[in-house]
Structure 1
Amino acid sequence: MRILRGMTATAVILAVLSVAAKAEIVTDSIRYSHDGEAFEGYAAYNDALGDEQPTVIIIHDWDGLGDYEKTRAEMLARSGYAAFAIDLYGTGIRPERVERRRELTNALYADRARMRALMQAGLEAAGTQQVMDTDNAVAIGYCFGGAALLELARSGAALDGFVSFHGGLGTPEEQNYEQVDGPLLILHGSSDQVAPMSEVANLTSRLDEDGATYTMEIYGGARHAFTDWGASDRYNASADLQSWAAMERFLGQALSEPAD
């Protein structure tokens, strides 16, 4: 890991993207609707791998579906998975101001039924794509998306696994993990100021109590948003690469093996 200390965020991403660089990756914006509202997801896949590919659903951070999630989708496509980033805000709603981001996420936290319905709508949109096998799928989420991911897991969504990257870890008082349909992978930083280690301990207790299957990896010194190369003061190259590798191992176990 000594090499990682000298790598810039840009170099880290270029190194990851260089793997299978010759793959023919197709990307597309996918418009769909829920209760008359318009949404726009993002699909990425290797067209050479055919139809019904093992699929990864991506749930975005609080700034909405943007370049970060699109890049992650393309990275997954280069690893042999079809990827679909869902949209929880609506077409064209990509807030730049912190106040607006907080307003949008708080509205979803306050209406968990709507949050679940919007995630389900995204899953259904992914299922309309011929290359995507949503019966052979894992969901991943970043920050706010990690908190939403746990809501999706608690809803009993029929997925093969759930991966949270530095996500919110709180559990609403009236909820539990008894209906979780697949294993959980929690990837978290020990210095996360938004979801501190006390929340990690509380989540562990809840998961144990409800008999959920889960694995946690804690990255020493990593802060909140440690995978976000745009967050220059919090990005942690070592934790980013280690957590991505952990996710890939998880996908290899939870899903059918991707094609070479």
Structure 2
Amino acid sequence: MKMAWILALFGLVWGGASQAGPVSYDVDGQGFEGFYLGSDKQAPLVLLVHDWDGLTDYEVKRAEMLAALGYNVFAVDLFGAGVRPTQMEEKKRLTGALYQDRPRMRKLLMAALGEARRLGWRLDNVVALGYCFGGAAVLELARSGADFKGIVSVHGGLTTPPEQGYKQTKASLLIQHGSADQSVSLKDFATLIGELEAAGVTHEATSYSGAPHAFSVFGGPNYRADADAKSWQRLTEFLSEVTKG
């Protein structure tokens, strides 16, 4: 979705006192464009990380749903301003570049958090939420030891790079996985649970029967309403639990 359409949607949904809009920022000379929604600077913040399509209408819808529950939302851009790939090879190239440069991935995620700080939002009550590629990215934040209340990966990549681990993790983790996911295996799911348990990380991991990869993407070929509804309910409960107070 082009940013003009995002703004049009914001105008329909957030006309009034709430704040919403695109955020342009630079990281090492490259331009990025995320967006934000919120009405209370003291509310908990959800750092929302997109899948390999880039920041599109799917993230806008999820941000809208979260903001309706009272959260501030900052949707991260990890690809660059205007970079919203539609071809498979381009998606693989963009995500592959960040998988090969984990320090860069972390830097881009933390730069977005810095923009949230610039907006005046409190950063002591933050949850990172990612879908698919974004789910893998937020686990990078977990392993980095980011001082967040919670980290949620929804049908995300779950493998841990050989040189990394969860010994520094501070946040509570929620992992939501589709049992029928052919991109991320049940073996990957079980291995991650073992790693979290061995590292003493507070975590919860759920596998939804019959749910394929990207089961929560509205209108997508893999969308499963039952798994989406169950995962969203638990996600909202988790957010309330870890951000209270």
TM, length-normalised to structure 2:
0.91
Select which of 215, 219, 222 maps to 1:226: 215
Query: What are the Cα deviations for residues 4-55 of structure 1, in whole angstroms up to 9, with x where unaligned?
Result: xxxxxxxxxxxxxxxx99986432101111111111111012x3xx322111
3-state DSSP of counterpart to 2:44: strand
Give 1:99's aligned residue.
89
Give 1:253's aligned residue.
241
Q: Which letter does structure 1 place at the counterpart of 2:22?
A: S
Select which of 178, 184, 202 maps to 1:213: 202
Select which of 166, 175, 179 maps to 1:177: 166
Select which of 12, 15, 27 maps to 2:20: 27
Give 2:76's aligned residue.
86
* Structure 1 position 69 matched with structure 2 position 59: yes
Select which of 128, 136, 139 maps to 2:118: 128
* Per-residue deviation, 1:206: 1.0
Paired with 2:26 and 2:111, the residues of 1 have a C-alpha distance of 8
Select which of 81, 85, 100 maps to 1:110: 100
Contact 1:25 1:74 (8 Å CA) reproduced: no
Q: Which has the higher contact order (CA 8 A, sep 6+)?
A: 1
Give 1:141's aligned residue.
130
Paired with 2:98 and 2:53, the residues of 1 have a C-alpha distance of 13
Paired with 2:169 and 2:163, the residues of 1 have a C-alpha distance of 15
Q: Figure out how many residues of one structure are paired with residues of the other and give that number.
A: 233
* Per-residue deviation, 1:256: 2.7
Give 1:156's aligned residue.
145
Q: Which letter does structure 1 place at the counterpart of 2:242?
A: A
Among all aligned residue pairs of Structure 1 and Structure 2, give the percentage whose two residues are the same amino acid: 47
Contact 1:61 1:141 (8 Å CA) reproduced: yes
3-state DSSP of counterpart to 2:157: coil
* Per-residue deviation, 1:239: 0.7
* Structure 1 position 42 matched with structure 2 position 32: no
Contact 1:140 1:146 (8 Å CA) reproduced: yes
Contact 1:55 1:83 (8 Å CA) reproduced: yes
Contact 1:25 1:77 (8 Å CA) reproduced: no
Paired with 1:256 and 1:164, the residues of 2 have a C-alpha distance of 20
TM, length-normalised to structure 1:
0.86
Give 1:5's aligned residue.
none
Paired with 2:192 and 2:171, the residues of 1 have a C-alpha distance of 16
Paired with 1:65 and 1:135, the residues of 2 have a C-alpha distance of 25
Q: Which letter does structure 1 place at the counterpart of 2:198?
A: E
Give the gaps of 5 or more residues in structure 1: 1-19
Paired with 2:15 and 2:180, the residues of 1 have a C-alpha distance of 38
